[in-house]
């Protein structure tokens, strides 16, 4: 994207020879907004990032994988600050305009010698590096990179303006964002004020990253950062342009969030659970969240078993108002439960066929109100256990 450059290298932080250090460089100071994890155990780069983002402007983002720099005390904070100083000295950028992120194993100190030799390598690559280099460098247990590019047009008195937006993320396990390990960066060429950008990003996060789960664990390092470089011709300064920008940002965030769930550790299926007919918006959220987090539901999905009792039971314990005699439950278009009554073995066989697909839609209608909400989640396989049992080996 115009106005942004990327680099990604193997600095030696990981032992497997894969890329593990990446950089986003903005040609000019970009308007910046961010959302961070609400986990009370926060990694050093999150603590520091919450301070840095107060400037509402950024020129560079350094990201390492293979080490979370979490539970590392005052040394971890100082190491994060040293990383900022090294980027500042190497790229001749003020320290207050640099953000850092980390992802990987919790508890180990950063191998600072790898950053001392790696950051100059990033500078050597920055003018030839590709987005994919950066996207690869930030991965941990991910099986694939996660990127998206979208545009939207604005019709103005000065003619048509185009908003360009690029997103890149990592995340596969420890995914239950509450603002998954999740890092996401969204870049745009639009001109937009810091307050408008923060408002738009918070709303987009709530509809995307806060509506996904892989394993129900909220990371210590979750970071969603949006940078607006202002190199394009689109100006976000009225209700119409804000609305167009908001829709585009939500689409980009939702696509990244979907890619994260699809690449969940050990996942074989992507599932959307929609709860409708709830008495309140909060009730719809509670029921959908409880179903998406249920290990019994997730294992049934993996087994391609339309075990509807697990789904209705999760809704019943969620805290939402429910009436079992009014529930409708559909797998795709197959109504397995109508007004609280199982529709029989023949219909269940049809539901089982639906569950053989890689993408599954489940709809629970509580039939007691007008509110609805949705979550994206994945199934739970034995490979998830294997991946996490061996994670630090």
Residue 19, classed as helix, strand or coil, is coil
Angle at 29 between CA 163 and CA 45, to 5 degrees: 100
Report d(CA 188, CA 164) in Å as an integer: 6
**Strand-pair category, 159-170 with 98-103:** unpaired
Closest CA to 266 of 145, 105, 382, 170: 382
Of residues 37, 136, 166, 181, which has the active-site annotation?
181
Show the tokens assigned to 118. 């790696």
Residue 89: count other Cβ atoms within 10 Å of its Cβ. Answer: 12
Angle at 61 between CA 1 and CA 95, to 5 degrees: 125
181 classed as catalytic:
yes
Q: How many residues does the chain have?
A: 393
- Asked whether the beta carbons of 74 and 35 are under 8 A apart, the reply is no
| Bridge partner list, 371 | 278
- List of E strands, 157-222: 159-170, 183-188, 191-192, 212-213
- Asked whether the beta carbons of 325 and 339 are under 8 A apart, the reply is yes
Show the tokens assigned to 373. 């909400």
- Asked whether the beta carbons of 33 and 201 are under 8 A apart, the reply is yes
- Asked whether the beta carbons of 68 and 94 are under 8 A apart, the reply is no
Instruction: Find the DSSP H helices in 131-233.
Output: 131-137, 194-207
Which residue is it, tokens 């998406």?
292
Residue 2, classed as helix, strand or coil, is coil
Closest CA to 59 of 88, 30, 32: 30
Active site residues: 181
């Amino acid at each position: 994207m115009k106005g942004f450059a990327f680099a990604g290298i193997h600095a030696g932080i990981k032992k497997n020879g894969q890329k593990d250090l990446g950089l986003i460089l903005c040609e000019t100071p970009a308007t910046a907004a961010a959302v961070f994890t609400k986990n009370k155990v926060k990694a050093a780069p999150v603590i520091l990032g919450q301070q840095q983002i107060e400037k509402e402007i950024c020129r560079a983002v350094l990201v390492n994988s293979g080490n979370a720099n979490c539970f590392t005390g005052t040394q971890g904070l100082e190491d994060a600050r040293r990383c900022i100083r090294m980027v500042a000295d190497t790229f001749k950028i003020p320290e207050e305009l640099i953000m850092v992120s980390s992802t990987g194993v919790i508890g180990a100190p950063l191998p600072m010698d790898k950053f001392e030799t790696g950051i100059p390598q990033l500078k050597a690559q920055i003018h030839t590096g590709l987005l994919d280099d950066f996207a690869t460098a930030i991965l941990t247990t991910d099986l694939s990179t996660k990127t998206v590019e979208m545009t939207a047009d604005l019709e103005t008195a000065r003619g048509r303006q185009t908003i360009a937006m690029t997103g890149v993320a990592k995340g596969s396990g420890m995914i239950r964002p509450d603002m998954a390990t999740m890092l996401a960066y969204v870049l745009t060429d639009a001109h937009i004020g810091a307050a408008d950008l923060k408002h738009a990003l918070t709303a987009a996060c709530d509809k995307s990253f806060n509506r996904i789960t892989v394993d129900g664990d909220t990371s210590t390092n979750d970071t969603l950062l949006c940078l607006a470089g202002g190199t394009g011709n689109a100006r976000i300064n009225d209700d119409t342009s804000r609305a167009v920008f908001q829709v585009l940002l939500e689409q980009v965030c939702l696509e990244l969030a979907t890619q994260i769930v699809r690449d969940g550790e050990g996942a074989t299926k992507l599932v959307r659970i929609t709860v409708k007919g709830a008495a309140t918006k909060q009730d719809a959220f509670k029921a959908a969240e409880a179903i998406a987090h249920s290990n019994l539901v997730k294992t049934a999905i993996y087994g391609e078993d339309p075990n509807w009792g697990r789904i209705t039971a999760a809704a019943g314990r969620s805290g939402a108002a429910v009436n079992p005699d009014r529930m409708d439950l559909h797998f795709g278009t197959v109504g397995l439960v109508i007004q609280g009554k199982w529709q029989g073995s023949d219909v269940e066989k049809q539901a089982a066929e639906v569950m053989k697909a890689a993408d599954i839609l489940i709809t629970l209608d509580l039939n007691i109100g007008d509110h609805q909400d949705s979550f994206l989640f994945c199934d739970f396989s034995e490979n998830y256990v294997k991946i996490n049992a061996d994670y630090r080996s």
